[in-house]
Chain A
């Protein structure tokens, strides 16, 4: 069985603060993919990043960075110098090799960045 846990339901920060969104996953597959999506109030799920299970290199894209640690089954997402436009619900998702046609999502973390 696959499971994704986002323990933080809501986070509120002030603009320019750094914020980390936690994601812990469970799967028995050795081949899997992890994703982060952003869902602004409009509803569209915006793809942010995909990481496969064989690549534990951390990744940085502008103000976004991701820390993948297989030892703790975590795939955390950090926003540096947050901005009001970062306010959204962020979802972590898992797609494993045995069922590579579907994503298992966490419940999401609502991030509010206040000016």
Chain B
């Protein structure tokens, strides 16, 4: 396991359905992030976890979105009652902070993303 992995890579769903994405960060990384990227734009921050604690949520994260990281390892991002505007790529990332990070601190590594299409 050398990188951030996400599943599924692609998801097509009907409007109103719920979807869940999973992210496995780089082993021992204590921070985990979710970003959203739409066509022609750079990724936008959604939320992040320090170990199992969710420390910040962007205003982009409506109440239909919920993210968890129950044991401080993998994370899930659930979208309830999907809307067409939710169609985007959802990127997960991780980083190592604190003493163990040394020179690599603040470097955020991304996964391949999960493409969501709501029809």
Contacts and interface: CB of A to CB of B under 8 A. Distances in A.
A37 B110 CA distance: 10
A102 B112 contact: no
Contacts of B107: 35, 47, 50
Contacts of A100: 97, 106
* Central interface residue in B48, B110, B115, by most chain A CB within 10 Å: B110
Contacts, number: 58
Nearest to B105: A100
B106 A50 contact: yes
Interface stretch (B16-24, B36-44, B70-78): B36-44
Contact of A103 (B97, B108, B111): B108
Report the contact-size class of chain B (Cβ under 8 Å from the partner).
20 to 34
Interface string A74-115: 000000000000000001010100001111111110000000
Interface in B35-82: 35, 40-45, 48, 50, 55-56
A107 B37 CA distance: 10
B113 interface: yes
Contacts of A64: none
Given A101-B55, A101-B56, A45 B43 contact: yes
Contact of A107 (B41, B110, B112): B41
Nearest to A95: B106
A102 B45 contact: yes
B33 A107 contact: no
* Central interface residue in A47, A91, A103, by most chain B CB within 10 Å: A103
A93 B110 CA distance: 13
Contacts of B97: 100
B42 A91 contact: yes
B115 A43 contact: yes
* Central interface residue in A43, A46, A91, A95, by most chain B CB within 10 Å: A43
A8 B43 CA distance: 17
Given A37-B110, A45-B110, 8 more contacts: A35-B107, A44-B110, A44-B113, A95-B108, A101-B48, A102-B48, A106-B42, A108-B41
Interface of B: 31, 33, 35, 40-45, 48, 50, 55-56, 89, 91, 93, 97, 106-113, 115
